Amino acid sequence: MKHFKNTCAQGDIYFMRVDMEVPKNAVEVQPEGNHLIVTHSETGHHHVMERTKAKLYTLPDNIMKCLLVVDDPVALEHLREHDTHEPIMFDKGTYIGYRQREYTAEGFRKVTD
């Protein structure tokens, strides 16, 4: 399992530890089953955390960012049995997540993992 101090990436999302409050216009993402889905995968192999240890918020003013508030140390895991990303342990704190982008002939789009 990977550990990090200030920044990390898994698949199509990059996280950076920040010192900030949750903005008033942030919208909490509801867990699905036992998981908090941090990023959805087009193949169903999502990047998830245990639902009781963190909260995820979308930021309506920017679809490329999210805010993750970790209440207890928790691992970000990739739900794929083969060719998977190594789990990453998040310590208690607040993190801003950036969806990676790529350029195509039609313009920028979110990277798919």
Rg of the chain over CA atoms, in angstroms?
A: 14
In the chain, the amino acid numbered 12 is: D
CA distance 28 to 49: 15
Q: What is the pLDDT of residue 62?
A: 78
Full pLDDT tens readout for the chain, 113 residues: 889 999 998 877 899 999 999 999 999 999 998 899 998 766 667 889 999 999 999 988 777 789 999 999 999 998 876 666 789 999 999 999 987 665 567 765 555 54
Task: Name the nearest CA neighbour of 108 among 64, 65, 66, 67.
Answer: 64
Q: What is the pLDDT of residue 31?
A: 95
Position 104 scores a pLDDT of 64
Quote the pTM value: 0.82
